[in-house]
Amino acid sequence: MSVITSGTGQKNRLSDDSPIFNTLTELGHEQVVICSDPEVGLKAIIAIHDTTLGPSLGGTRMWMYNNEQEALRDVLRLSRGMTYKAAISGLNLGGGKAVIIGDSRTDKTEALFRSFGRFVDGLAGRYITAEDVGMEVQNMEWILKETTHVTGIPESMGGSGDPSPFTGYGVYMGAKASAKKAYGSDSLEGKRIALQGAGHVASYFAEHARKEGAELFISDIYTEKAESLAAKVGGTVVPAEDIYGLDVDIFTPCALGGVVNDETIDIFNCDIIAGGANNILDDEEVHGKQLMDKGIIYAPDYAINAGGIINISVELSENGYDPAIAKEKTAVIYDTTLKVLNYAEENGIPTFKAANLLAEQRIADAKAGK
């Protein structure tokens, strides 16, 4: 194992030819831990982006990266995103993330996850892990055998369980706040909503939106998933490729990231984009500005999909986990979204930029002891 620490802005003599340190400085990371345990086949990277507001929190992703660079890029990008998500949500948490390089279908063993758990434990709480893509409850239980710095574990084990109900509820509150901004009323009654993806987050979002009388158009690459959700909550199934151009009030992407891109930007026929997917804008600067120019209100993804991490923050609180408190805190996403949208309007900037600035301001204030 080797530990690479960026330090805290100290000058060093490597600046011209040290790509790793230069990248960490540019992205603002505090520490990156390369975890290697050949005996059990563990190759993992833990990235701690910023702990100004509190210990870094973020899930562990197990993925077949093509090479080390790809894994490093992913963990750096994801951990930085967690810092912004926690900061904009008013949580006293920093941003972190871990990736395990491997095939989640064939490479999982108890020894591997326990070894990883010991690396997490070695960070003494500076990094708290959770479940992410490629991980299952069983794997988290193995990690838990080696460290207490794990969250999102099943309720039966004293954790907060599946975060999706809270993420879905938060996206719903974010969509309502966006409607308030666009239409002067936050009611979703009669609003036409195009829902991309019919998975966990989408399903919980759909239930809330339907209860309020929204009209849903549902798509999934697996048509049977869209059909099943439509049968459950009520809605019209739409082919996956047709979802972008529907004449709707709100487009709610709850599948993959990068769906606002060069190809889709001119197809949208909606007033609002508010969804649960991470990294909805393919290129923040380019597509965020284009949405603003088109008059489409974009509710920044990390501000409105924070319900899961808000839920986990309740699990970490001194009083222990309480779902009612988690729901109450998730509802604050409504205020956060309006704050971001108003700040963007007042300053004539795209909404993603407004969210970034507000998150950075909160961290800067904390650093300055405000």
Shortest reach from residue 181's CB to ligand NAD, in Å: 22
Closer CB to ligand NAD, residue 43 or residue 225? 225
Per-residue exposure over 29-41, b if at least 16 CB sit within 10 Å of its own CB, e if not: bbbbbbbebeeee
DSSP 68-91: HHHHHHHHHHHHHHHHHHHHHTT-
* Half-sphere exposure of residue 43: CA atoms within 13 angstroms, side-chain side: 14
Active site residue 97: yes
* Complex with ligand NAD: residue 33 or 235, whichever CB lies closer: 235
Least spacing, CB of residue 276 vs ligand NAD, in Å: 4
Report the candidate in 305, 319, 327, 316 with the shortest Cα–Cα distance to residue 94: 316
- In whole angstroms, how close is the CB of 29 to ligand NAD at the nearest point? 21
End-to-end CA distance of the chain: 38
Residue 10 C-beta: closest distance to ligand NAD, Å = 35
Question: Where does this chain bind ligand NAD (CB under 6 A)?
Answer: 163-164, 167, 196-202, 219-222, 225, 240, 254-257, 276-278, 305, 308
Comparing every residue's Cβ against ligand NAD, the nearest one is 199
Say if residues 272 and 178 touch (Cβ distance below 8 Å): yes
Decide whether 196 or 290 has the Cβ nearer to ligand NAD: 196
CB of 354 to ligand NAD, least distance (A): 20
Distance CA 256, CA 182 (A): 25
Of 112 and 259, which CB lies nearer to ligand NAD in the complex structure?
259
Q: Which of residues 37 and 227 has its CB atom nearest to ligand NAD in the complex?
A: 227
Look up residue 247 and give its DSSP letter.
B
Per the CB < 8 A criterion, the answer to whether 187 and 179 are in contact is yes
Cα distance between residue 332 and residue 314, in whole Å? 14
Of 43, 85, 97, 176, catalytic? 97
Rounded distance, CA 302 to CA 276, Å? 8
Answer for the pair 238, 219: CB distance below 8 angstroms, yes or no.
yes
Residue positions annotated with a catalytic role:
97
